[in-house]
A and B are shown apart, each in its own frame.
Chain A
């Protein structure tokens, strides 16, 4: 229960409602536990032939008590369970809040599936504990105390023998629960082995088919499946034990009561009505006791889930606004300077950027070219501080990048990432992502520059067209152009286009670049591309090779150097020629 303690602050928010909840649980239990007393009295009166004319009173009293108890039962669910839903809501909001402040490194190591599993499965498991878990536990406790007290008030000695099997039951619940847990873990383990096998078989299906290994694959899957079945049956052996066991032990209670109580009646120290009350009380206790095992299981699962959630809550992002930042909005000038920057993603990994010294003047357009893995994207990712420079310095307008608050830094940068990502929203909302209240004119203007306007204009719903599953799917090129429009609309001081034209044909690319020319004149722009055509008009081009700046210069001067750049250029000319054939 170490991790579930993290829930206390959440519970405190609803402490009034929870207090009311516990109160109504008690009230409901009191009225429920009064019913056997009424029945007891009724039976005795019937037995003594005293009940003429009183029967309907007993009957309606029973119903009345059930009605009141039912009302409180209603309130119980409306408080405890509702609170559990509210906390689930709060917990999920906090969870996402924590996820969003994590740095990019976190998302690299935690795939989307994992984050979603935490947000849904794990939070649900915690909710199950908070709702049904807490409710049934308190109901069980209250009912237990009340039933036993009422039973004692009827007959102390009989109560004592009736509860005799209870320690045995608790012990059995504990023991069986422990064994089930262990066996359940083995089942889970085998399940993941089975899943891995299926996953691997299907990923390698081509090899399987090419070498005609279908049958041997079926054989090995059968072996794992069989093992899984056996482990399940081992679990079933114990699990099947728990229900009959509980019934047996609670049945013993009734049996003992009937025997001892019966003899007491024969000896006239007890009435038949009291015996009836005992039998009903034991009936009331049976289910809560049986559900005890289930509650324990629920709690254990919640604890495991909470542990995983706490890991997220305790994880501090390694990149944060530094505490020394004073004024929140600092106007950012577009001059960027890398000074002796070395960078690697972690200490075990090799350097991705080595000894980078680069000054990009305000208003300059810089082109970056280089082979896959040469460090281009890493270099530009440092500018919006997606990753932190640890060796060397990165200055913007002559000031260390860490002195700017995220808000002013990132809103000054327009970034078109390599992998185009659009939301399943309207085109308009995607383009105007940077602004809460936008003017339609600006959206149109941005889309015209990025050459997506004509495409959008042809859609029946124009800018209101939904993207994604429930809407339309744009082509790769259309997506890129939308993504460019999004960056233009943000009106940034620094514009970064990371391979943003790869799916756009050269003609359209030229159009876009022409449109951008005017915008780029007033801003610092960095263009990354595999294509010479994108870069050739840049003020300056650098060639990255193996994390180092290998060549620098204009298009013409680089061609003359006859180095990497010239080689790439030559090959691209050849490719063009090939396409024509």
Chain B
């Protein structure tokens, strides 16, 4: 059932990972910048430092100019020494400021990323089960890790450097124009062809990159498909053909890459050439001005340095483009997830659930996972406090859905579910679930210590209670024989817990929480006889003194229950005790022969 749901949703969401759009999206950017707010003071300081770095790094050619014009050419070696000392001072100062700036921006980036990651994680924790049915774990993990990591990269290298580059360009312009605006205009006239070249290059390279991505995706799909279908490839002896097919796609990819190489190999020399033209213009015009005595030789030299410095950041900016593009795509995916609303929300003024007795009632409940595909049809039953009820039925009869609904993992379409006569929609989800102990069929243990797997890091459950629960369940002997006892990590190498032992740990977990209502989906997997005895005894202990609902797979468990509810095709078909139902000769008696009676062999 869940599988089918996944498939349907996957068709729509599959391509989400491949979105790659603009390098700058004002809306996304605004939202990202909102995360900087708590650190706005630090951001301002970082910006001041960035301006400082820009000024300090652009002041150097200016100091060179003073050194040449005022001291070297005037043969003033003491003045030269002084200006060198100033230069030394600015260098050291620049180094310090630059270090602080770089670290500060990284710090802000890391803090922001941390907040974003936690925000996303907290958000995901609040989403409902129906969301997790539709979204594979792998994809969510990617959002929490890789996508956020991409933003990390943007924050720590991309964006700040873009700012720094802009400021540096500003600083260069400031000094150039204050030295000679005429020469500045002439030297910088090449910016126009440069911008033009950059635009053309960007357009060309973008289309080449689109092709590269297209063929890369195709190649990945091919690899993915043939690696997972390797059995078919081998059976049909198609290794050679597969390789031939792959070579074609691979070469398409290479060709697209070569096209982008071509654009790069034109663009970079063109930028160099434009820089050189600027230098030539400085010599031609500036040299003339020096000869006419309008400019000094120092200005000329500083201009040569400035023009060299000017083109570097511009080239950098076009390289930052890629980082920005992937970052935008990642943030779009992250925000999309953040905007996802939980399908189940608590009532506005929830009723308090005090002293739960454990009466459960289903009143004409209709439920479907998708649309109108009802898996439960008009289900009604009452379970009184302390009763032990077994649910039986073939796979797909709707037993697990009943369990899920009591925990309110899903909301029903029609009808009511009541706990102690209160509709569960009026109770806080956490309040409701605190009173329910759920043991699901797929045993899930965290890679943590046994103690933590029992308490699930709940402070209320102290080591004493953990041990007590383990003892009642009967797993204490086993745990105490482990090298680290209760602190033993369950996933550690060399420690292999049997299926039965793992199950007993989940029993101990449910017991430690001491719920009013127990919901147990018995595991079907067979275990060794010793574990089997322990499990049966443990189930007795678990059911003691609580309302218990059990999806039973063992005859022994069924026989311990007060009542059996037989489900078939989403409906309740028979209710009664084991003996009554056997005599009835209906569905239960068939199920009994099929599932519960000892095999003939």
Residues of A within 8 A of B (CB): 35, 39, 42-43, 46-47, 49, 51-52, 55-56, 58-60, 62-63, 65-67, 69-71, 73-78, 81-82, 85-86, 88-89, 92-93, 96-97, 99-101, 104, 107, 112, 115-116, 119-120, 191, 194-196, 198-214, 216-222, 225-226, 229, 232-233, 236-237, 239-241, 243-245, 247-248, 251-252, 254-255, 258-259, 262-263, 265-266, 272, 275-276, 279-280, 283, 287, 384, 386, 406-407, 410-411, 413, 415, 417, 419, 421, 423-424, 433-434, 436, 469, 473, 486, 490, 562-564, 566-567, 570-571, 574-575, 577-578, 581
Contact = CB atoms under 8 A, between A and B. Distances in A.
Nearest to A84: B261
B102 A243 contact: yes
Interface string B228-243: 1111111111110111
A208 B137 CA distance: 15
B576 interface: no
Given A46-B300, A62-B276, A244 B98 contact: yes
Nearest to A256: B84
Nearest to B444: A204
A262 B272 contact: no
B87 A258 contact: yes
B308 A280 contact: yes
Given A203-B444, A216-B457, A263-B80, A229 B283 contact: no
B241 A436 contact: yes
B141 A35 contact: no
Interface in B386-409: 394, 407, 409
A43 B239 CA distance: 68
A580 to B, nearest CB: 10
B288 interface: yes
B75 A266 contact: yes
26 contacts: A39-B279, A46-B290, A46-B291, A59-B283, A63-B280, A74-B265, A77-B261, A77-B265, A77-B268, A85-B258, A89-B254, A104-B231, A200-B447, A201-B125, A207-B456, A210-B438, A218-B125, A225-B117, A255-B87, A255-B91, A410-B235, A469-B221, A562-B600, A574-B590, A578-B590, A581-B568
Given A259-B84, A276-B304, A93 B91 contact: no
A205 B129 contact: yes
A203 B290 CA distance: 75
Overall SS of chain B's interface: helix
Interface string B133-168: 000010011001100010010001000000000000
B224 A116 contact: yes
A386 B234 contact: yes
Interface stretch (B359-367, B464-472, B538-546, B591-599): B591-599
B277 interface: yes
B227 A99 contact: yes
Contacts of A473: 7, 11
Contact of B145 (A194, A201, A259): A194
B551 to A, nearest CB: 15
B291 A49 contact: yes
A559 to B, nearest CB: 12
Interface stretch (B36-44, B107-115, B418-426): B107-115
B273 A96 contact: no
A62 B280 contact: yes
B241 to A, nearest CB: 7
B14 interface: yes
Interface stretch (B60-68, B194-202, B495-503, B555-563): B60-68
A285 to B, nearest CB: 12
Contacts of B308: 280, 283
Contacts, number: 375
A410 B232 CA distance: 11
A417 B273 contact: no
The 10 closest A-B pairs by CB, nearest first: A66-B276, A70-B269, A77-B265, A240-B102, A236-B106, A59-B284, A59-B280, A210-B438, A244-B98, A248-B95
A196 B447 CA distance: 9
Contacts of B444: 203-204, 206-207
Contacts of B95: 244-245, 247-248
Interface of B: 7, 11, 14, 57, 60, 64, 67-68, 71-73, 75-77, 80-81, 84, 87-88, 91-92, 94-96, 98-99, 102-103, 106-107, 110-111, 113-114, 117-118, 121-122, 124-126, 129, 132, 137, 140-141, 144-145, 149, 152, 156, 216, 219-221, 223-225, 227-239, 241-243, 246-247, 250-251, 253-254, 257-258, 261-262, 264-266, 268-270, 272-273, 275-277, 279-281, 283-284, 287-288, 290-291, 297, 300-301, 304-305, 308, 312, 394, 407, 409, 430, 433-434, 436, 438, 440, 444, 446-447, 456-458, 509, 513, 568, 573, 586-587, 590-591, 593-594, 599-601
Given A59-B283, A214-B126, A216-B456, A240 B440 contact: no
Given A218-B118, A258-B67, A62 B279 contact: yes
Contact of B281 (A59, A107, A433): A59
Contacts of B122: 218
A241 B73 CA distance: 37
B236 A58 contact: no
B94 A42 contact: no
Contacts of B458: 211, 213, 216
A428 B587 CA distance: 45
A38 B141 CA distance: 59
B137 A240 contact: no
Given A85-B258, A216-B456, A486-B236, 16 more contacts: A43-B297, A46-B290, A51-B287, A62-B279, A65-B276, A66-B273, A66-B277, A82-B261, A100-B243, A225-B121, A265-B73, A272-B68, A574-B593, A574-B594, A575-B394, A578-B394
Contacts of A211: 433, 438, 456, 458, 509, 513
Contacts of B92: 248
B595 to A, nearest CB: 9
Nearest to A410: B237
B594 A70 contact: no
A317 B145 CA distance: 36
Nearest to B102: A240
Nearest to A258: B67
Nearest to A35: B276
Contacts of B262: 78
B167 to A, nearest CB: 15
A230 B444 CA distance: 31
B550 to A, nearest CB: 15
B291 A69 contact: no
B269 A73 contact: yes
A27 to B, nearest CB: 13
Nearest to B10: A469
A89 B258 CA distance: 11
B450 to A, nearest CB: 15
B601 A567 contact: yes
A423 B229 contact: yes
Contact of B111 (A196, A229, A413): A229
Nearest to A206: B440
Which of B81, B247, B250 has the most C-beta atoms of chain A within 10 angstroms of its own C-beta? Answer: B250
Contacts of A46: 287, 290-291, 297, 300
Contact of B121 (A86, A218, A419, A577): A218
B114 A225 contact: yes
Given A112-B227, A232-B110, A245-B95, A198 B75 contact: no
